[in-house]
Every structure is written in C-alpha cells, then in structure tokens.
Amino acid sequence: MSNRPLLVFDFDGVIVDGMEEYWWSACLACLRLSAADGMRHQVPNRVPDGFRQLRPWIHHGWEMVLMASLLQERDGLLQRIGVDAFVAAYSEHCRQALEARDWSPQQLQEALEHVRHSAMAEDRSTWLNRHRPFAGVPQRLRSLASEGIDWAVLTTKGRAFTAELLDAFDLQPALLFGHEAGSKPDVLLRLIAEQSLCGFVEDRLATLETVLATPGLRSLPCFLAEWGYLRPSDRQALPQGVQLLGLTQFAAPLADWT
C-alpha cells in the first residue's frame, strides 16, 4: 500500500450521474420480480420527476427497485400522498411497501444485480452509456497524483459494476470498495488504521453525519459534494465537520478546500 495520503470518494452522485441507468435497471428488476423478465419494452424510457426527487433519500440499490414499483402504480401510496409526505417517513413507508409486496431487501438487491450482470453481458456498451461522469470530475481525479495524493472509491454499488464504469471512464483508483466490503464507516476505520486519510467526499449528508459520529473518524475531514443528489435542506446549517464542496472549489488544490 502507498504511503501517500488517501482521499476517499463516494461513486454515485460524486463521480458519476447514473440516473438513467438507475431507472432502467430498477424497472427491469421489477419486471423480473413480477415474472415478466425480458419484457424490456415495458420499461418507460423517460426518468420520471418523482424518481429524481426520491433519489436523494435512496441509500441502497434495493430501494431503487422499490421506488420504481411504487412510481408505476396508478393509484398507490406515492400517488395519493406525494413525494414530500412519502420521504417525511421514508423508512416506515419503505417497510410498509415491502410488506405489501411480500418482498425483502435482499430479494430486490439480487434482482437488481441480476439485471445489471445480464445487461453487461448482453450489451456492455449500451449499459455503460447509461452513465455520465460529472463534468470536470474525472480530470480532477487524475490530477490528484500531481499533489502527491492517492484516491479511493467507497460505494454502496457492487464492486464489479463500479470497476466496469471506472474502467470505461479511464479512471484507476488506488483502492475500490463496493457494498460487499461492509459499511462506509467500517471501511474508513480500516483504512485510517493503515494510512493517512485526507478526506471523504460524499453527496449523502446522513452518511457523513454517521461517519463523524463514529469513534475513530470524528476528525476525518468530510466534504458534501453539492453537485450530487442532495436533498433540498442539505445545504443549510451543515453540522460541524462537514463542509460543502462545489465543483469550482473541487478543481482547486486540496489545501484550498477548507
């Protein structure tokens, strides 16, 4: 392992915008769970506004599948109460929706990963083209080496999928951790015990709050990527230890971030 300091990045919402792929894969996973696998013509092409609005609350892949199912109901919970009311009790509404469908998070996660594996095997280029790196981010990641900094990716996406995308964008992190590696705080604790960490860049405020509440990580510099999938209130009254990071600031040397 390198002795150089390590800057750690989330993937979705920080490096890549995968909204089109999220919606397509989640819808197809719903079809698979409904024994309609292969009926890809049924997947709506346009990403609905409701899915974009819900994305900041989604933390795991299985939740995307559940949201796709809810959004495609004609007179379901989301249609009756609206997105704002749904996210006000997000966890409880997800639990109710799972129970109503007799689904489990593991079942949904496996369906999603099956869809992605199949898509990559059948038409890799089309699947990859459903993702877009955020403007300027790949170039900035490549330039970190000139500052003597290594960078790593820590994501709740599967490691294999993330590796495929990074390779497509010609990005080679020093380290890559998918959801198989464990929770983000646990991975960061293992990393910080082995080398110097100079920061963690994430677009989910709740994740940064959990990291900073973890003994051993409370002094880790945490940056909230404002170009990612932020909730409307995330930019307001940030907790101590979390700094909002815009693309202009991100392009500057790391020493100028704080």
Specify the pLDDT at position 1: 56
Sheet strand arrangement including 197-202: 175-177, 150-154, 6-9, 197-202, 222-225, 242-245
Distance CA 205, CA 223 (A): 9
Distance CA 210, CA 237 (A): 16
Please state, in angstroms and as integers, the Cα–Cα distance from residue 144 to each residue in 47, 62, 125, 165, following that order.
Answer: 34, 33, 28, 19
Q: What is the pLDDT along the chain (258 residues), one digit of tens a residue?
A: 568 999 999 999 999 999 999 999 999 999 888 765 444 546 777 899 999 999 999 988 899 999 999 998 888 889 999 999 999 999 999 999 999 999 999 999 999 989 988 988 999 889 889 999 999 999 999 999 999 999 999 998 889 889 989 999 999 999 999 989 999 999 999 999 999 999 999 999 999 999 999 999 999 999 999 999 999 889 888 999 999 999 999 999 999 997
Specify the pLDDT at position 42: 66
Please state, in angstroms and as integers, the Cα–Cα distance from residue 179 to each residue in 43, 52, 96, 158, 251, following that order.
Answer: 26, 22, 25, 6, 28
Nearest CA among 245, 143, 157 for reference residue 201:
245
Specify the pLDDT at position 45: 73
Distance CA 5, CA 198 (A): 6
Specify the pLDDT at position 31: 87
Q: What is the CA radius of gyration of the chain?
A: 19
* Cβ atoms 184, 60 nearer than 8 A: no
Distance CA 140, CA 135 (A): 10
What pTM was estimated for this model as a whole? 0.85
76 class by beta-carbon count within 10 Å (0-12 exposed, 13-18 middle, 19+ buried):
middle
Residue owning tokens 């990859």: 128
Q: Using alpha carbons only, give the angle 219, 10, 134 rounded to the nearest 5 degrees.
A: 125
Specify the pLDDT at position 237: 80
Phi-psi region of 225 (alpha: psi -120 to 50; beta: other; left: phi over 0): beta
71 class by beta-carbon count within 10 Å (0-12 exposed, 13-18 middle, 19+ buried):
buried
